[in-house]
Amino acid sequence: MSEREQNLRVLVVDDSAYNRQTITTMLEDIDGVQVVGRAMDGKVALQKAFELEPDLITLDLEMPEMDGFAFLRLLMAKRPTPVLIISGYSARDNVFRALDLGALDFIAKPGLKIGPSILEIEQELRRKIAMVRRLQSVRLKRRADSVASQRRVTQSLTAVAKKP
């Protein structure tokens, strides 16, 4: 099994350098999680999502250039990817809007200010990563079953074609 198949590859998107680094550190402390890229706004994140093809994206909603809502809309239309929102912009309407646009789940940042309180989300982040891994396992099993099924059909067609 390749490293790509073993690790959950994550893109971290947040306009705060402190939050990007803190979230990256929390994620990389989880066995089998690899942060493959970081972005400070939705525009850069969209480019990196296509280039890096992560298994999961963590996303802040309030960012310059392109906010998280616009990013979600474009990402889900072009390259659907599991997205975990980590944002202080956690009013009920914003949570439901993000989920409606395709986000998998939402973690509210503990405070509106950038700072050490971001560490309070670590256990919740670990639980959400475990959920994403279970979903990824189901998706990989379905893909393997589909490939096996296609292989059987191809073998059957080949056998029929070889008969005189």
Per-residue confidence in pLDDT tens, the chain, 164 aa? 444 457 899 999 999 999 999 999 999 999 999 999 999 999 999 999 999 999 999 999 999 889 999 999 999 999 999 999 999 877 889 899 999 999 999 998 876 555 566 777 888 999 999 988 888 765 544 555 555 555 555 555 555 556 66
Q: Tell me what pLDDT residue 54 has.
A: 96
Angle, alpha carbons 143-50-140 (nearest 5°): 15
* Residue 150: per-residue pLDDT: 59
Cβ-contact 24, 18 below 8 angstroms: no
Contact 24, 35 (CB under 8 A): yes
Distance CA 57, CA 121 (A): 16
Sort strands 56-59 and 105-108 into parallel, antiparallel or unpaired.
unpaired
